[in-house]
Structure 1
Amino acid sequence: MTNKTTKEYLDYFVKSQNPNFAVMLKGKWGAGKTYFIQDTIQEWDNASIISDSKINLKPIYISLNGVAKKNEIIELLKAKISPFLYSKGVKFTSDILKGFIKSTLKIDFDYDGDNVKDGNFNINFDPISIFKSSNDKINGNRILIFDDVERCKIPLDELYGFINDFVEHSQCKVILISDEDKIDDNHNNDSKFKYSLFKEKIIGQTFEIKPDTDQAIDFFLESMPTDIGKYFIESKDLIIKIFSISEKENLRVLQRGIFDFERLVSFIDNKLKTDEEKFIILFKNYLSYFLIYFLEIKTGNDDILSFQQQNHSSNEISENNYIQYNEVISAFKLLHSTKLFTPFKLSCFIKNGDSQELINEINSSIIYANGKEEKDWEKLWYWKLLEDEDFLILLEKVSHDFFTNENFHITEILHISGIMFSLIDSNLYNKKSKLQVIKRAKEIIEKCNLKDFRDTISSSTLTWGSWHKGYTSDKTEEFKALVKFTQELLEKIKREKSEQTVESLFYGITNENVDELYRKIKEYDENLGCRIESIPMLSKLNSKKFSKVIFSLNNNALLILTFFFEYRYFPEKTYANVTIEDKQRQEKDFLIDLNSEILTEINAKRNEKKVIRKYSLNELKVMIDKSIEKL
């Protein structure tokens, strides 16, 4: 049954005299139930003042989301009804309100239409009476619509008893809206009866609302700025096709996807829009993949990140390879996703709003890269899609370059190795063995300049992929071993660089900069992945070398350094609830050796007559002694 048929039935239902049953509109979250009924209400909304002594009721729409008591529903009804009674031009005579008066209601009058109150009086008013009593001064269909039934906190037996009062004892046309699948016999433990019994008693007809994608997209795009909205309108068929193939049937997720893509486009370089022809291609391609990823990720399918990423030799079959989307890619002649973006960067934007890295990729899109040629290994990455002649030529080139040249980025080495592993496993390459590939890869990696290599998102560049592509054979033991070798090499470099950072900081202390030590140790270090003070920093120093730095300082600088040691080993004096940690304990041996050097300096003959100097050094030694004792 279509939504159009449902609409026709509802039109008939609300005009009937006294149906004595309610209608249920059901559908999954995001199917468009609320939008459907609101659009229908607009057509039913004939509420207008037809005379000075009569009014027409509008359809009353109420959401039960979070409502916990029946009194709350009454208050919501009262809020909806009051505007009809408190309306400019209506003469609230006693014959209109007869039978409704119960408690106090303040009515303001403006008889002459000058927007100035001409008077008021208080009466008592029961809003429910309007629906239950017969009054020839109240015109219009008495339509009550209760949305989000499944989210109501009132026990089901109480809720349906309340609603049934309108169905059986008034001429109300009651429509209930819910995600019925979430209302089962165990939905509410406070209910004494089963939901099925209530439904049988109250609901006379049930209709399922299906997403009206065409109409919904028109609605979504109505508020779009003209400059970007035109591209969405031109892509309407594409959007409908993707949504249909996804089988999500959740228009709210689609709407959010369109909204987020509009936001993403607002970040890209405006210069890209100057070439209209290329921008249309860019918009179409990125919109397509964005919606595919958005619809899947937002419905819990994170494995969409593997879509079009060819893990040839993992020997693992994904539970969902999303090949249904290939129909869209082919029909609309989209570029392969690996030529456009890196999946985890797109995922980061969809999940967390992190846009910068994705924007950088879009701004440097291959669509605008005139004359930019893919490297041979990149072409070979798509080997399953190649013709035989092209495959053999590329394989020979890539193999030769790999075993003769060394001018590769570390990520290229991993990609080429992975491709070769997959071809060897597929019996398509036999000139070299896996062991020879691994040996060669390690040789090149060790010669790479890794000092400036950055892997900013949890080592994903090494473990997931790069160049917008996942590593082939990434699940094989050979590839994992190669990644581990690379990571260990990088960790060694990071340790060396972190030691250099600490040494540079402490060996570089002078009278002029000693007071900056507090600030500098709080700085975040990229190689360490933390603040410098968060590691056992002093354990990395040579006590004899550092003692020479100390002895070069003047007495004022020695005092500042003494305070620094107090800050380091007595943190509770600076911060509440902070105590000694393992990072300080690991520095104990260094402090013992350093104090030995300081004692020697104190007793040195050259300081025999320097009483202030000896005092300053001794104060430093005492502080270090206390620190050692505490550790």
Structure 2
Amino acid sequence: MNEEIVRFLNEYVEIPDPQYAVMLKGTWGCGKTFFIQRWIEASKEKGEEQLEWNPIYVSLYGLTSVQQITESINKEIYPWLYSKGAKLIKNILKTASKIALKYDIDADNDGKSEATATYNLDSILLLKGDNKEIKGNKILIFDDFERCNVNFDTLLGYINYFSEHCKCKIIIIGDEAKLQEKESENKGLKFKDFKEKTIGRTFEIKTNINETVDFFIQELSSNNRNLLSENKELIVQIFQASKLNNLRILRQCLNDYNRIVMSLPESYHNSPKYKKIITSLLANFIAVYCEYKSGNTRIAELFDGISIMFNDSKYNQEREKILSKYQFIGIGQGLGILDSFIVGKIVHYLDCGFFDTEYMQQYFAIEDADIESWEHLYDYWRLDNEEFEQYYHETIIYYLEDRCQDLKELFVIISILSVLSSLELVSVSKDEIIAQGKKSINRLMTNVTKIEDLLQSLETAQRGLRPIYDEKNHIQAVLWQYFKSIFDERIHQCPNKMSVALENLDDESCERLGVIQNEVVPMKKVLYKETPFFESANPERVANRIIGLSNEAKNTFYQFLLYRYDRTSNGSEIVRVPSMYMADMPNLKLIGEHLKDAAEHTKLIERFALRQIVALIEKIFQKAMN
């Protein structure tokens, strides 16, 4: 389609006085400017001995007056005009001195700046005049038409003048849909009338993704061009799958990616694993970049490792909708597109301009290490029978002998065996693979009980996990659910931060209870204050810590309880206890009983402070039981 536009433009500009303009339309970022710039380069005259008009390109973006447009035209003409040599220019300007310049053309080295010269140059009269000294076609190209802030009637009249009175060939570039929106918002706009009167032909620019990607790659530093050229098909596939259709953003994406890659240590570039790791980064970078720029600004939250653990149907649907776009891209290559581990890092770069490459150290740490057998199986479709049999045999023995070093390695192998099993390329049954996977998970999770270690195990396992798209990942899905069941059970048994704080109360930490209860509970979308944290605390230990507080701290604890369970507007009366706190009641009652006994062996302010807490606990319990 674009080739037909080129042919038409080449014919159009040769018409002596067409008396109509041509419009190139298309959405923002579809490649309109890229297309016209390439056409301009092909249209420029190359000779130095004769003077021929070059196409004059002006972006109307943000311009507010026709004077600014004229100055923009001047800036295009001036350097071209004065690059052709003094003799030719003097002949031109002597002929057109009364209309073109307002200063002495015979003065040499007069010290005038380019800005002054372009200001004095009357480009409109120069274009209107029939100068025999300047050959060729007068072509005016007005880009970003819909983004111009000049009064519309004035703008259309200004452009129409060049078409009707200057024998200029006019090319208008813009988003016609946006122009129609402006016309509907402002009844004074008459683009429809202008189009009928002045625009003779309209063409829609279609994205030529393959040609454009080639051009973008050639713009980058030579050190990284080969890798990107090798992955051109991958770049195109991911960009098209994203449905973004904005070449400007793709160009920004590739430039940003190139900047990050070129900043990596030289040792990384020399690693035998470099190509595979950096290709995975490229796939993720384009997918996340395009998703984020298309409006999916919550993508980091959707693919956060913690978020994935929640059985939130809305989140799951949004996540699967995004994943489905890329499900068939790079199958078997181990690209890990939209891997939860990397999505957040790319979004952080888009938000803050910093990309943390330290995570790559683990991949490049052993530069001379051989690629593991299962890593070869990522590209199973590239292998011959002998290679496949060797790598598969080594992998399955390693797996069945329960030799996996960590959860990431385990789930990488599981994901590979899951795909190969669905393709009937393995010699063991699904049940056998699943049974061994459960044994390995049990072994690797044996001593993982602390919340920090559990969260680390989750992150490690997810880094080996591959997106679950269909039945090809059945084994992986079963074993991931098994891992999650162990994780969920352990995380539920872990003492939470509030329970630990209560069991270790002192005067200083008592002040922080209000702060801690407003923090988010790990693995849950709730704050501590929205959970029954007394349920998991040891009542006797909490009571003893309260008894050991200063009287001032006891009052702080009293205020803390009052704030937690009071749901009235004035804070003076407890009306009800929310159902989410009912699990607190047994332990809270025991704490009150311990404090009541202790109060009998104290006196004065200390007895008052304890009895105040006891009375509040009894009231809370009474309201809960009603």
TM-score by length of structure 1 reads 0.63
Given candidates 602, 605, 614, the residue that maps to 1:612 is 605
Q: In structure 1, how many angstroms separate the alpha carbons of the residues matched to 2:391 and 2:128?
A: 85
2:175 equivalent to 1:173:
no
The residue correspondences of 1:108-127 to structure 2 (distance < 5 A) are none
Q: CA deviation at 1:491?
A: 1.2
2:264 equivalent to 1:264:
no
Q: CA deviation at 1:367?
A: 9.6
Given candidates 357, 360, 374, the residue that maps to 1:359 is 357
For residues 84-109 of structure 1, the C-alpha deviation after alignment (integer angstroms, 9 at most, x for no partner) is 9999xx99x996599xxxxxxxxxxx
Aligned partner of 1:493 in structure 2 is 490
Q: In structure 2, how many angstroms separate the alpha carbons of the residues matched to 1:233 and 1:432?
A: 44
Q: Percent identity, aligned pairs only?
A: 20
Gaps of 5+ in 1: 47-55, 99-109, 117-124, 303-317, 327-335
2:69 equivalent to 1:77:
yes
Is the 1:547–1:594 Cα contact (8 Å) retained in structure 2?
yes
Q: In structure 2, how many angstroms separate the alpha carbons of the residues matched to 1:112 and 1:478?
A: 81
Is the 1:562–1:620 Cα contact (8 Å) retained in structure 2?
yes
> Residues 431 and 516 from structure 1, CA distance in 2 versus in 1: closer, same or farther, beyond 3 angstroms?
closer
For residues 112-151 of structure 1, the C-alpha deviation after alignment (integer angstroms, 9 at most, x for no partner) is 96889xxxxxxxx9x9985997799999986543213466
The residue correspondences of 1:145-544 to structure 2 (distance < 5 A) are 145-149=141-145, 163-164=159-160, 166-178=162-174, 198=195, 202-203=199-200, 229-232=221-224, 238=230, 251-265=247-261, 268-269=264-265, 271-272=267-268, 275=270, 278=271, 282=274, 337-338=333-334, 343-345=339-341, 347-349=343-345, 353=349, 359-360=357-358, 362-365=360-363, 369-374=367-372, 378=375, 387-388=384-385, 402=399, 405=402, 409-414=406-411, 432=429, 434=431, 436-447=432-443, 448-449=445-446, 450-451=448-449, 453=453, 466-467=463-464, 479-499=476-496, 501-511=497-507, 513-521=509-517, 526=522, 532-544=528-540
Query: How many residues end up aligned between the 2 structures?
Result: 548
Q: Which SS does the other structure have where 1:353 is aligned?
A: helix
Q: State which drifts further: 357-366 or 256-265.
A: 357-366
Q: In structure 2, how many angstroms separate the alpha carbons of the residues matched to 1:234 and 1:475?
A: 33
Q: CA deviation at 1:497?
A: 1.8
Is the 1:59–1:142 Cα contact (8 Å) retained in structure 2?
yes
Q: CA deviation at 1:257?
A: 2.8
Q: In structure 1, how many angstroms separate the alpha carbons of the residues matched to 2:251 and 2:328?
A: 21
> Residues 491 and 145 from structure 1, CA distance in 2 versus in 1: closer, same or farther, beyond 3 angstroms?
same
2:17 equivalent to 1:18:
yes
Q: CA deviation at 1:189?
A: 5.4
Aligned partner of 1:329 in structure 2 is none
Q: In structure 2, how many angstroms separate the alpha carbons of the residues matched to 1:406 and 1:213?
A: 45
Q: CA deviation at 1:486?
A: 1.9
Q: In structure 2, how many angstroms separate the alpha carbons of the residues matched to 1:111 and 1:431?
A: 89
Q: Which SS does the other structure have where 2:172 is aligned?
A: strand
Q: In structure 1, how many angstroms separate the alpha carbons of the residues matched to 2:212 and 2:428?
A: 59
Give 1:565's aligned amino acid. Answer: L
Q: In structure 2, how many angstroms separate the alpha carbons of the residues matched to 1:412 and 1:33?
A: 47
Q: In structure 2, how many angstroms separate the alpha carbons of the residues matched to 1:477 and 1:233?
A: 38
Q: In structure 1, how many angstroms separate the alpha carbons of the residues matched to 2:327 and 2:369?
A: 33
For residues 587-630 of structure 1, the C-alpha deviation after alignment (integer angstroms, 9 at most, x for no partner) is 4554444334433433x2x33xx222211212333454566678
Q: In structure 2, how many angstroms separate the alpha carbons of the residues matched to 1:18 and 1:368?
A: 70
RMSD: 6.2
Gaps of 5+ in 2: 47-51, 80-92, 102-106, 114-119, 297-323
Is the 2:585–2:621 Cα contact (8 Å) retained in structure 1?
yes
For residues 541-567 of structure 1, the C-alpha deviation after alignment (integer angstroms, 9 at most, x for no partner) is 243442222223343432332233344
Q: In structure 2, how many angstroms separate the alpha carbons of the residues matched to 1:403 and 1:220?
A: 45
For residues 314-355 of structure 1, the C-alpha deviation after alignment (integer angstroms, 9 at most, x for no partner) is xxxx887767x89xxxxxxxxx85389985555555555379
Q: In structure 1, how many angstroms separate the alpha carbons of the residues matched to 2:376 and 2:478?
A: 25
Is the 2:24–2:172 Cα contact (8 Å) retained in structure 1?
yes
For residues 197-244 of structure 1, the C-alpha deviation after alignment (integer angstroms, 9 at most, x for no partner) is 94686325869688698899778877x7xxxx3413566854777768
Give 2:592's aligned amino acid. Answer: N
Q: Which SS does the other structure have where 1:621 is aligned?
A: helix
Q: CA deviation at 1:487?
A: 0.9
> Residues 36 and 478 from structure 1, CA distance in 2 versus in 1: closer, same or farther, beyond 3 angstroms?
closer
Q: In structure 1, how many angstroms separate the alpha carbons of the residues matched to 2:422 and 2:486?
A: 27
For residues 495-523 of structure 1, the C-alpha deviation after alignment (integer angstroms, 9 at most, x for no partner) is 22234x44432111234643444455555
Give 1:557's aligned amino acid. Answer: A
Aligned partner of 1:621 in structure 2 is 614
Aligned partner of 1:546 in structure 2 is 542
Is the 1:569–1:627 Cα contact (8 Å) retained in structure 2?
yes
Q: In structure 2, how many angstroms separate the alpha carbons of the residues matched to 1:538 and 1:614?
A: 23
Q: In structure 2, how many angstroms separate the alpha carbons of the residues matched to 1:216 and 1:388?
A: 35
Q: In structure 2, how many angstroms separate the alpha carbons of the residues matched to 1:370 and 1:10?
A: 57
For residues 352-380 of structure 1, the C-alpha deviation after alignment (integer angstroms, 9 at most, x for no partner) is 537999834533446963134515x5556
Is the 2:326–2:337 Cα contact (8 Å) retained in structure 1?
no
> Residues 567 and 481 from structure 1, CA distance in 2 versus in 1: closer, same or farther, beyond 3 angstroms?
same
> Residues 112 and 487 from structure 1, CA distance in 2 versus in 1: closer, same or farther, beyond 3 angstroms?
closer
Q: In structure 2, how many angstroms separate the alpha carbons of the residues matched to 1:566 and 1:367?
A: 55
Q: In structure 2, how many angstroms separate the alpha carbons of the residues matched to 1:478 and 1:243?
A: 30
Q: Which SS does the other structure have where 2:495 is aligned?
A: helix
Give 1:489's aligned amino acid. Answer: I
> Residues 244 and 554 from structure 1, CA distance in 2 versus in 1: closer, same or farther, beyond 3 angstroms?
closer
TM-score by length of structure 2 reads 0.63
> Residues 424 and 261 from structure 1, CA distance in 2 versus in 1: closer, same or farther, beyond 3 angstroms?
closer
Q: In structure 1, how many angstroms separate the alpha carbons of the residues matched to 2:75 and 2:388?
A: 75
> Residues 356 and 97 from structure 1, CA distance in 2 versus in 1: closer, same or farther, beyond 3 angstroms?
closer
Give 1:547's aligned amino acid. Answer: A
Give 2:171's aligned amino acid. Answer: I
Is the 2:74–2:123 Cα contact (8 Å) retained in structure 1?
no
> Residues 456 and 111 from structure 1, CA distance in 2 versus in 1: closer, same or farther, beyond 3 angstroms?
farther
Is the 1:403–1:440 Cα contact (8 Å) retained in structure 2?
yes
Give 1:231's aligned amino acid. Answer: N
Is the 1:536–1:583 Cα contact (8 Å) retained in structure 2?
yes
Is the 2:434–2:475 Cα contact (8 Å) retained in structure 1?
yes
Is the 1:269–1:363 Cα contact (8 Å) retained in structure 2?
no
Give 2:224's aligned amino acid. Answer: F
> Residues 399 and 516 from structure 1, CA distance in 2 versus in 1: closer, same or farther, beyond 3 angstroms?
same
Give 2:223's aligned amino acid. Answer: Y
The residue correspondences of 1:9-48 to structure 2 (distance < 5 A) are 13=13, 18-25=17-24, 29-30=28-29, 32-35=31-34, 37=36
Is the 1:156–1:195 Cα contact (8 Å) retained in structure 2?
no
Is the 1:381–1:419 Cα contact (8 Å) retained in structure 2?
yes
Q: State which drifts further: 443-452 or 473-482.
A: 473-482
Q: Which SS does the other structure have where 1:23 is aligned?
A: strand
Give 1:601's aligned amino acid. Answer: A
